[in-house]
Structure 1
Amino acid sequence: MCRKLVTGSLIAMLLITGITACRKEAWDEYYGRPDTLESPIYQVLQSKGNFTHLLAAIDKAGYKNTLSGAGYWTLFAPHDSAFQVYFKEAGIAGVAQMDSITCQKIVTYCLVFNSFKKDRVDDYQSNAGWVPNTAFKRRTANYKGIYDGTNTAGAPVKAISSNRNNLGGIFWVEADNNNKHLPIFTDTFFNARAIPTADYSYFYPAASFRGFNVADGSVVMQDIPAENGVIHVINKVITPLASIDEYLSSKPDYSEFKKLFDKYLVNYVLNPVMTQRYKNLTGKSDDVYTKVYNGLLAFSPNNENYLKVQDNDAQRDGYTLFVPKNDVLLNYIQNVLLEHYQNLDQIPVNILYDFINAHMWQSSVWPSKFNNTFSYLGEPARFNASTDIIDKQVLSNGFFYGTNKVQEANVFSTVYSKVYLDPKYSYMNRLLDQDLKATITNPNQQYVMLMVSNQAWNDAGYFADATVDNNQNFQWRFIPKNGGAQVVGSSALVRMLRLINQLVIPAPSNNLKTLTGSGVAQSIGGEYVRWDNNQLYTSGNMDSTVIFVANSSASKTTANGVVHYIDKLLTYTETNIGLHIAKLGTPTTSPFNSFWRFMQNSPLYNRTTGEINGIAAGVFYSVFIPNNAAIQKAVNDGLLPTTGATSGGNKVPNFAPTAALDIERVSRFIQYHILNKKAVATDGNESGSYETLLRKNNGDPTTIFVSNSAPNVMRLTDMNNEYGNVILANSNYLSNRCVIHLIDNYLKFNL
């Protein structure tokens, strides 16, 4: 009985074991590791036989388990021959003489997150998907972490780099290790971006480009599959590249540029999170500080994450910094930035921002693209890649160029620089910033600028006054010299902007480049400036006997023009044009007298205000006044009314006609001699057919052709192809947005 029971139990157990074995075999077959699956990266390297040094470094770095287990990596693996070269250069026999930190740096910097074969490694992982052949960097497992630094007071501190560009006050994000990037260059990338491979050789003259390079090493075997990624074999041991911040700090040749950062543009901010983490890991009580660059800079040179507009944007682009060597920089600071200051502590900090940002690019400036890659200030790299660059580096977060010259930024080299860098002209600086800065800093357009000091503005009644308005743009006060009502805020600003526009003259010719001789030039605001042997006049002179004198010996030349220093503010008139014509024509001996006598009795003219019907405030005009002889000719020819009498063979003008037809003839005559919406002077710059105030019977404007092809010569052609000449000695009379000329003939219209 017992024997039967034992036998039955044994059979049952064998059946159960058999069933379980069958189930496990089926499980393993379905869920087990396929025999065809590649080994992990570590084991693949072992099987190849020529990575003994790399494997030893991986072991010492503590990355064996990482590369033997699950994951998704790209490893750029230097072979044994590459390590032999590295050992020789380092003066060591092998990995045994390397510490774990050194091994960790090598291993982590050649270890890229995610798996990329050659055909994907230059594709940009954008938020919208893959963008082919536009990337040349990949994020690695390497990062700097906490390091020993020196704060702005010169004291040693535990520091950590910013991992953002300090936009909106965000300069460090806890979940980001600020991982370094590895530069990877492919033939498809260079072709797609139209970058010649000579640019690679520019950075790495001792290396050969083979279509797939990593820094200055070449990929000699690619796309080796592994269970947890892909391996590319390289012929160079690549150590972690410095960031721009690290490289600048390591080079004494650029220490003066670094001092500008350290003294004015860097701060060390306590990092509570990293402080606590450091204390937990080490048991030490040191505080940890984030090294923070000023948020008004183009980028933070210690940030490895590029702009972070998209998560992976550092794959396709990086920063660029051009840095002049010490002697060049010091010379420029002394002769340009400090022309009107004793030391850098005195200059406004925005000047430093502009100077540094002029050398900073939020993009990769490839050697072949200096002329069309624009800085944070919107300007090309004004360097000769062959002669001006003394040091060129591809770094972990961008390109670095050491230079033997300073970037000639527009704000420091154009006419604008003369007000920007001189505190005595801060009024002009503020006004130009609101209206004309972008225009007059254009190096491709020439200008003449008249320099008016703050004191001269004050003498004319204009003052900066912070009590006027909370908005700095409106903090102005105008106190009229004649004792009229004060003007403040935006109303004062409007007046001052009109004045500043009179002080800037585009210079298509040599007008005003020298104040000797005489002439007239149109300002950028459309109003004219006259000069005569160092004396300058604007329309404000019509209401005053004051002569505005400019000292031509104080003129200075810039990259886009000339500035002249003058001792008084050039003003504009607010008197109506008709009153200026009255002033010119009232004397009986005046050549303007006959025209004035007709005009003063015309219903077009308001004797009280001096207004002329059809002329609007704020609009430009030109008035061509026939001289007395020409007016007499118009009377004789029947264009202007006569009394019916004659004198000396001439018809006697009827200056105060009462007949409607005669009144209309006078009105039309006057209107045809006034250009509508156009001021012209004898500057030789503008010619063309321009409309007058007079309208034809069908409502179309009548016109006059103005020939103004040479300075000081102007001819007018009317609608009957008859002409009159401007009489220079009695012309270019500046009125309220108007120029008044005397001409030697009358102009005849057709209706």
Structure 2
Amino acid sequence: MKKWTSLLASAFLLFFLSCNEMDKYYDNDRHATSVSVGNAWDYLESRGNFTNFLAAVQKVGYEDLVRGKGLATIFAPDDEAFQKYFARHGYSSVNDVPDAELSNMVTYHLLYYSFNADRFMEYRPEGTTADDDYVGLYFKYRTRSRDANEMIEDPSKGKEVEVLHQEKYIPVFTPNLYGWYNNHGSSGSTGAVNYNYFYDSYGSDLWQGDNWVAGNEPYFRVSNAGVKEYSIITDNGYLYVLDDVVEPLKTIYQTIAADDNFSTFAHAYDRFKDLTYNEYLSLNYNNRDSAFLYQSTGLPSIAYERTSLTISSGESTSDMEATLLGPLSSNTLTVFAPSNQAMESFYTTYWEPYYGVNNWDSIKFTPLLALMGEQVGTHRLWASAGPLLPSEISKGNAVTAVSYTPITIDPASDVVTKAFCSNGTLYGVNSLISVPKYFSYVTAPAFMNPKYNMFLLLMARSGVLDLYTAETQTFYAFYPSDDMLKNTQVGDGNSETLIYENAQPNKYGYEDITYSDGEATVSLGMAASARIVRSQVCDNMIEVAGSDEKIYRTTYSTFNYLYQKGDSIFSTAKYNSHYGFQGAQDNNDMITITEMTSDLPEVRNGRVFSLDGEKSATALMPEERSFEEISPNQSQIPWEFLETTAGTRNFYQTGIAGSLNDSTGRLQVYETIKAHDGGGTTVPRYIVFALSNQAVVDAWADRIITNGRNNLFSRYMPNLFVSVERSRLIDYPFPGDGMGTRTLYTFKTKTNTEGEYTSIQLDDMGTHLQLTDSKGRKVKVVNSFPYIYADCAVYIIDSYLDFGDDNTSTVQ
């Protein structure tokens, strides 16, 4: 007994609190100015011309509510209104209407809570005294109408689940709604233009409210119906007499799916459906059977009755509605659905060469999402607040929701079907309102060809897609296949390869690029993804005159490049391994390129290439080793430093090995640089001019690096190390880079001076770089493309540089 007493007390308290909570939203002082006519049932029955409405209410089980048991606003169509409804549908009486349809229709006329006419005209979800700039824009009200549950296939489970539909909202159109647009940065939004546009099938010139001004008698229309009598006070709310039966509105998705001319769009949208289990609804509304909500992932939920409301498993829809009553009453979705012909035309142009004919189910999710999302519209000034009206489209205020591309269609001539829906507006068109920009720039191959799906996922994750659609820049994009990316090493020490995972191939949002951290697979982060993508895309190209060489600067970092020779291409790491080790110059690690630009419908801002190689080929990744780190290691330095016919007189033995610091095991020059430029700890970016082995022999013979008895290369070495910062270089120099003559400053201080450094003149000769030393000697840079490491670029020069007294002087 105590248990039931406690439950009853709790229920009473909940009812009391709920009523007080709703007082701020709804008018409950309905007897303040007039006398109630009694309960709505007896009143309508006494009038004699509501027999069909009352019969319908009784048949679907809502007689008690109309008799006064529960707070409600009742929209009551008279018998003349029902004759219009019967004529539209081919019925003779209420008994001809199928039960489900009748229930849906009747409950669509029964609103939760009570609204007098003034509240409809100036609805404020936060309460009647709330100061709200959006008054007039709140035009939707919750009804008791709900579509019957239905069984829908869940792609993630491979079976049907029971979808529970939410109660519908009904639109009430007031002059203040259209006036709101005119008062907030727009103009010309009249009911005559906008209301009649959607409801012209119910009659001509239905809207008569454009001359309404504040202080006049209320005027509004309830969806397709006009109001004949306003604010009749009953025992449990307000009653309105309508001149037509209100047709329950479908969702945008239901409207599209019912029209065979838009079946392709509906099918493509279906791929993003997310049938979400809801525990609260299952326990409270579905007899404890599992209930699912029909929402979408990645795209607006056009099949869901609620706008601006996403419900997770255990959440109460009622609680969420109370919290988000404002957005639910004002926000709408807008879809510009392309016809089957328009969808198929796009498919033929962009996807058929790679996916085959009409193979929509195979299109990768990311490019399909780009296409579908670009057909969703919004208002350029206030997004989804209020319906996107045809007058706003005509005024240029409509944009695509994803890219904000202006929508330039003519609602009068370009729209083949239109509908005001329970959750927004639908415009059916014979062409796409916008082709996603990614199909027209250097990003196009990723969105068209499934072999680049992993690269596309990395592009999307790294946030660089919009960067590569810049109109004012020219890009050179080199596309690695999925197989190449799976061979690409990442993680600590680049010891792990990339993994493509897709836990649910039939559902959007489950693709991932991962790698193993030794214990489990982890998602590749944004920065690591950007490093891969940016290393394949370049924003500058240099052609070396008189050769088949090209040098590209990547968008990964200022000092990272790709090198092309013939149809082969190398990253800095691949170049170092291919050219840096004698005997390694075979074709096993070669990557060739094939230009795809002319094969694509359009590439506005550059050129695109496919990467091809052996099964072990990888993406083009930059060198991560530093020259400071590897230089003491004979097995890791370029082979040219070792090969000689003069014994140990080569750059490695004479220069590097003879210049090592005994305590650090690294070149002494680095200790000098750190002391003068690096604050004692770091080595700023630099260039090394490494003497060819013959140049070492000549320097030895000419006593440039010796006093005749001792090897003084360690003192000479700082002259070969150029400070990038001191030389004001924003790029490493290359032949043909257009930078002309430059003065390069080394890390070697001049003799008997303070703050002055030895210098080298660099000239771009077109076919090669040339250095001039302090004695005026000309020295040729042998390699067009240097060995590039994380900290420097190493160029081979064919002769020594003579710095006079500063050749082997002690560094100050």
Normalization by structure 2: what TM-score?
0.59
**Which position in structure 1 is the counterpart of 2:115?**
115
Quick check: 1:500 aligned with 2:524? Answer: no
User: Unmatched 5+ residue regions in structure 1?
Assistant: 1-32, 164-176, 280-286, 478-485, 632-641
How many Å separate the matches in 2 of 1:653 and 1:319?
Answer: 78
* Contact 1:679 1:739 (8 Å CA) reproduced: no
**Which position in structure 2 is the counterpart of 1:125?**
125
Equivalent AA in structure 2 for residue 402 of structure 1: G
How many Å separate the matches in 2 of 1:142 and 1:392?
Answer: 26
3-state SS in 2 of match to 1:380: coil
How many Å separate the matches in 2 of 1:110 and 1:733?
Answer: 79
- Cα separation, partners in 2 of 1:264 and 1:359, compared to 1, 3 Å: same
* Contact 1:298 1:361 (8 Å CA) reproduced: no
Equivalent AA in structure 2 for residue 524 of structure 1: T
**Which position in structure 1 is the counterpart of 2:221?**
214
2:721 counterpart (670, 678, 701): 670
3-state SS in 2 of match to 1:332: helix
2:143 counterpart (132, 141, 144): 141
- Cα separation, partners in 2 of 1:612 and 1:39, compared to 1, 3 Å: farther
How many Å separate the matches in 2 of 1:304 and 1:565?
Answer: 45
- Cα separation, partners in 2 of 1:728 and 1:434, compared to 1, 3 Å: farther
**Which position in structure 2 is the counterpart of 1:162?**
165
**Which position in structure 2 is the counterpart of 1:403?**
429
Quick check: 1:194 aligned with 2:189? Answer: no
- Cα separation, partners in 2 of 1:203 and 1:398, compared to 1, 3 Å: same
**Which position in structure 1 is the counterpart of 2:4?**
none
**Which position in structure 1 is the counterpart of 2:408?**
384
3-state SS in 2 of match to 1:475: strand
How many Å separate the matches in 2 of 1:495 and 1:318?
Answer: 36
How many Å separate the matches in 1 of 2:612 and 2:302?
Answer: 45
2:608 counterpart (548, 556, 563): 563
Measured after TM superposition, the shift of residue 625 of structure 1 is 4.7
* Contact 2:268 2:360 (8 Å CA) reproduced: no
**Which position in structure 2 is the counterpart of 1:541?**
575
3-state SS in 2 of match to 1:562: strand
* Contact 1:325 1:404 (8 Å CA) reproduced: yes
* Contact 1:724 1:746 (8 Å CA) reproduced: yes
* Contact 1:244 1:302 (8 Å CA) reproduced: yes
Measured after TM superposition, the shift of residue 324 of structure 1 is 1.4
Quick check: 1:418 aligned with 2:450? Answer: no
The structure with more radius of gyration: 1
The 5-angstrom pairing of residues 437-476 of structure 1 reads: 438=465, 442=469, 447-456=475-484, 464=498, 473-475=513-515
Quick check: 1:105 aligned with 2:158? Answer: no
Quick check: 1:254 aligned with 2:253? Answer: no
* Contact 1:152 1:262 (8 Å CA) reproduced: no
Per-residue deviation, residues 687-740 of structure 1 (Å, max 9, x unmatched): 9x999885999999999999999999999999xxxx999989854424113445
**Which position in structure 1 is the counterpart of 2:306?**
305
Quick check: 1:319 aligned with 2:333? Answer: yes
How many Å separate the matches in 1 of 2:706 and 2:715?
Answer: 13
* Contact 1:338 1:344 (8 Å CA) reproduced: no
The 5-angstrom pairing of residues 576-587 of structure 1 reads: 576-577=626-627, 579=631
* Contact 1:502 1:523 (8 Å CA) reproduced: yes
Measured after TM superposition, the shift of residue 552 of structure 1 is 2.6
3-state SS in 2 of match to 1:537: strand
How many Å separate the matches in 2 of 1:102 and 1:558?
Answer: 55
How many Å separate the matches in 1 of 2:123 and 2:454?
Answer: 52
Per-residue deviation, residues 122-174 of structure 1 (Å, max 9, x unmatched): 54415996634253322243513327888799xxx9976433xxxxxxxxxxx
- Cα separation, partners in 2 of 1:446 and 1:76, compared to 1, 3 Å: farther
**Which position in structure 2 is the counterpart of 1:16?**
none
**Which position in structure 2 is the counterpart of 1:551?**
594
How many Å separate the matches in 2 of 1:76 and 1:703?
Answer: 93
- Cα separation, partners in 2 of 1:740 and 1:663, compared to 1, 3 Å: closer
* Contact 2:262 2:337 (8 Å CA) reproduced: yes
How many Å separate the matches in 1 of 2:802 and 2:239?
Answer: 91
Equivalent AA in structure 1 for residue 354 of structure 2: H
**Which position in structure 2 is the counterpart of 1:293?**
294
* Contact 2:441 2:468 (8 Å CA) reproduced: yes
- Cα separation, partners in 2 of 1:253 and 1:495, compared to 1, 3 Å: closer
* Contact 2:308 2:331 (8 Å CA) reproduced: no
How many Å separate the matches in 2 of 1:726 and 1:334?
Answer: 58
- Cα separation, partners in 2 of 1:91 and 1:713, compared to 1, 3 Å: same
3-state SS in 2 of match to 1:306: coil
3-state SS in 1 of match to 2:435: coil
**Which position in structure 2 is the counterpart of 1:531?**
564
Equivalent AA in structure 2 for residue 143 of structure 1: S
- Cα separation, partners in 2 of 1:318 and 1:183, compared to 1, 3 Å: farther
- Cα separation, partners in 2 of 1:708 and 1:567, compared to 1, 3 Å: farther
* Contact 1:538 1:572 (8 Å CA) reproduced: yes
**Which position in structure 2 is the counterpart of 1:623?**
687
1:241 counterpart (239, 249, 267): 249
- Cα separation, partners in 2 of 1:449 and 1:222, compared to 1, 3 Å: farther
Alignment coverage as a number of residue pairs:
651
* Contact 1:599 1:605 (8 Å CA) reproduced: no
**Which position in structure 2 is the counterpart of 1:736?**
789
3-state SS in 2 of match to 1:125: coil
Shifted more, 690-699 versus 308-317: the winner is: 690-699
Measured after TM superposition, the shift of residue 662 of structure 1 is 12
- Cα separation, partners in 2 of 1:219 and 1:38, compared to 1, 3 Å: farther
**Which position in structure 1 is the counterpart of 2:492?**
none
3-state SS in 2 of match to 1:293: strand
3-state SS in 2 of match to 1:529: strand
Per-residue deviation, residues 420-462 of structure 1 (Å, max 9, x unmatched): 5544345534544553555557566764321122444577788
How many Å separate the matches in 1 of 2:84 and 2:683?
Answer: 77
* Contact 2:768 2:782 (8 Å CA) reproduced: no
- Cα separation, partners in 2 of 1:277 and 1:245, compared to 1, 3 Å: same
* Contact 2:336 2:427 (8 Å CA) reproduced: yes
Measured after TM superposition, the shift of residue 222 of structure 1 is 9.4
How many Å separate the matches in 2 of 1:192 and 1:288?
Answer: 49
- Cα separation, partners in 2 of 1:220 and 1:695, compared to 1, 3 Å: farther
3-state SS in 2 of match to 1:393: strand
How many Å separate the matches in 2 of 1:746 and 1:439?
Answer: 50
